[in-house]
A and B are shown apart, each in its own frame.
Chain A
């Protein structure tokens, strides 16, 4: 019997096996790329803003990649290297990813808090840009 199999060695795991027919030949093996993050699918049935004859649905949250002692150690190592000013671009990207993960795992925030901080960052960046333009304008006018 021919067997079509899909190997899943990623975070979203579980192997699937499908029995093929006698006629169709060859084995199919797919090794998917490793999934780094995903949101978890579950719904909690509570608040319902609109009317249905049955009770309501609301989707509960959470993300998936786990903070671990290995990641914590890597975060410390990279932070130390960054303090010395010798991080590569790849390491910088890794540190940024770990910083986000650490924040969501160690200091979880609500959606509203996350959006408020985004707004604050956006306004601050706008302010910094405006000041830079202001300084540049005066510097060029006086030179």
Chain B
């Protein structure tokens, strides 16, 4: 009787969804340093702007990615738990409003708005200043789905859209902004 109950309970247990591992991309389209960011919420997606601003307040580099609401939703557990482990920013990152793009930027890589499917984050040891990194990855959901049908332990290598280096507090603030309370 007890075994029967156990079997019934086991049969009710929802099947674990197939998991596809992501391998780190061999290379990235862009790499850059950022000390400013801004998150703009649109209908169904978020624009994440990053900039590198000098002491003289001159913008010398910038980059923007698109993250859909669905991606944010599916990454929520992952990113909020990571955010909880790294904590909230200890110092404030200056507010930044990304300037409108100039005409000459429209033909450069800077104007391209890649869609991000996965954010891989890490940071170094607690030795001041702590460096952090956000890697922006993109992958074909059709391919991921196909792989899941092949069997267990499948991995795919996403497209390395951009590798961004920043201070830990920018990473902390960015995550808090992505998932506000």
Contact = CB atoms under 8 A, between A and B. Distances in A.
Contacts of A68: none
Contacts of A47: 74
A49 interface: yes
Contacts of A37: 82, 85-86, 122-123
Given A52-B142, A55-B145, A115-B80, A94 B126 contact: yes
B46 interface: no
Interface residues on B, range: 35 or more
A119 interface: yes
Chain A contact patch, size range: 35 or more
A116 B142 CA distance: 35
Contacts of A53: 142
A125 to B, nearest CB: 11
Contacts, number: 145
Contact of B124 (A34, A104, A119): A34
Contacts of B120: 38-39, 41
B156 to A, nearest CB: 8
A43 B77 CA distance: 12
B82 A63 contact: yes
A38, A62, A119 interface centre (most CB from chain B within 10 Å):
A38
B126 A61 contact: no
A118 B83 CA distance: 11
Given A33-B131, A115-B181, A52 B125 contact: no
B79 interface: yes
Interface of B: 16-24, 70-71, 73-88, 117-126, 131, 137, 139, 141-142, 144-146, 148, 176, 179, 181
